[in-house]
A and B are shown apart, each in its own frame.
Chain A
């Protein structure tokens, strides 16, 4: 347990120091996105990595959160912080209700049902023009503020987003190390065995689905308030896939893995910008190659790679001697 606390403290330090390295550069903006994507990847990992239930529609919950905040603040003038709470509660409740029929499904049926949900939400964002502004988006969403202190630039947003991201990581770490975390993993390994041992698998799956959707909605609200502008294009099928990729590339059932995956996939397009249109090809190749050669994700793959290099090196030294 102690090494867990060290890791978390180390993470806080890194988060605190990074702005001094990248101060004033475009990277600060990218790092804000890394924070938002980390929240999303962590929330999805609770469902996918721990409970073993895939969702290909999480971008929908993210979007729903963003639109609830966007519409409530711009059209109805409700306090921004309050709208974050409202979207977390509303989206969590929606996910709880639809979770019962959805999570009865397994494997690719579950994948398809969640995908369908995501697409239905995406179509809703596009078509309910009088509320959402349709494909051209919704603008003028206010920045968050505390007592007149406005979070209106990259540095301020960075600390705001990462503060909340760190809280969510802490929550997730505590959750997966608790009794609930163990119950979730037992569902992952064998749902039948878990139920025999007295885990209410059905309810627990739905609860974790609702929690995951709720965190995604919070991330969505924060996204809306930091960007001030939202459009359906950010919440489509591709983004759902990207989220699943973050979780898998980072490492299933590893909270820090999700952080790594989110960071890699958010930074990658920035690096690949040099390749312009080739980035989509690199992205697809990376997905295939990572799954083939690093099935445990980066979090397991990197240490394994280092130790294998080290072993080979030692062998080489021994062979020479």
Chain B
């Protein structure tokens, strides 16, 4: 295999993992924009997506499509519980307390998952076989195509929701100014709940579609969550296209770095990119700098 084919291969892998990071990152951004909370438990919903699908598939003996369709709302339900029990009761929490609470929630969810299921690594069957396709010299698994299509579909739906539905508009109003949104009669607490619903749904979907490629276990949420957060930071915490670009950029650079430099340092590459961007352009790659008011 020549170098150009190799690079094409890395790009394909990079774009599809990048799409996953983007989905997770958008989840981070949606919660952040409506609540200023960095939900460190976001990665656990990714894990729940994969593990719940597996549970419905193996333990309940359901067919794969049904298992997937059931897994997303189940993970979302856990997201709702998390918001209700851990986030809503807080009165005027400091950012630090929120970091700790969401980390606590993440440990708790991971612990329960470990107990309910096990510590083993499992694989989920690909959605439509594993017969690879040849495109421009690169071998593409059908799962890659599923990932890219489903990601773009859900991002599109997300965009339409925020742009045109009344709830979406209300959530955007909360993101712009919570107090003012409350004053015009928007139920801010409800919008916070909605933001948790959407981001846990997106997170679990990401977990489901990536599981056939990368395997899943109770602790996959940590790394995937962090990478998703990287994508959101690169995208300047936007809930839209910039985060998608951020995710794809991260995914491709990571995959190229892993292939051409060293696979052991793959994760380090992602975090070095993160640090460089934070040092040079903390507002994200695609956004103009804002002056801070005091």
Contacts and interface: CB of A to CB of B under 8 A. Distances in A.
Nearest to A116: B271
Contact of A108 (B95, B104, B107, B222): B95
A113 B278 CA distance: 7
A317 interface: no
A112 B227 CA distance: 11
B265 A111 contact: no
Given A126-B264, A248-B96, A281 B112 contact: yes
A228 to B, nearest CB: 26
B268 A120 contact: yes
A112 B274 CA distance: 9
Contacts of A244: 100
Contacts of B107: 241, 280, 283-284, 287
A291 to B, nearest CB: 5
A54 B96 contact: yes
Nearest to B222: A237
Nearest to A118: B271
B271 A120 contact: yes
- Chain B, interface residues (CB within 8 Å), range: 35 or more
A292 interface: yes
B115 interface: yes
Given A109-B233, A192-B294, A292 B271 contact: no
Interface residues of A, number: 41
B88 to A, nearest CB: 11
Contact of B104 (A105, A111, A285): A285
B267 A123 contact: yes
B111 interface: yes
A119 B226 contact: yes
Contacts of B272: 116, 120
Contacts, number: 111
A294 to B, nearest CB: 11
A115 interface: yes
Nearest to B32: A108
B212 to A, nearest CB: 26
B268 A288 contact: no
Residue with the highest number of chain A CB atoms closer than 10 Å, among B38, B86, B99, B112 = B99
Say what secondary structure dominates the interface of chain B: helix
Contacts of A248: 96-97, 100
Interface string A27-50: 000000000000000000000100
B203 interface: no
A192 to B, nearest CB: 5
A102 B275 CA distance: 8
A108 B38 contact: yes
A123 B110 CA distance: 22
B229 A112 contact: yes
A287 B111 contact: no
A209 to B, nearest CB: 15
A278 interface: yes
Nearest to B105: A288
B164 interface: no
A280 B267 contact: no
A227 interface: no
A127 B100 contact: no
Interface string B75-93: 0000000000010011001
A124 interface: yes
B148 interface: no
Contacts of B95: 107-108
B108 A285 contact: yes
Nearest to B96: A54
B100 A105 contact: no
Given A120-B272, A287-B107, A108 B114 contact: no
A295 interface: yes
Q: Most chain-B CB neighbours within 10 Å: which of A104, A245, A280, A288?
A: A288
A117 interface: yes
Interface string A277-319: 1101101111110011001000000000000000000000000
Interface in B192-234: 222, 226, 229-230, 233
Contacts of B226: 115, 119
A117 B264 contact: no
Given A105-B282, A241-B107, A287-B107, 7 more contacts: A104-B282, A108-B38, A119-B226, A120-B275, A280-B111, A280-B114, A288-B101
14 contacts: A48-B96, A105-B278, A116-B275, A241-B103, A245-B103, A277-B115, A281-B111, A285-B104, A287-B100, A288-B104, A291-B97, A292-B86, A292-B101, A295-B97
Interface of A: 48, 54, 101-102, 104-105, 107-109, 111-113, 115-117, 119-120, 123-124, 126-127, 192, 237, 241, 244-245, 248, 252, 277-278, 280-281, 283-288, 291-292, 295
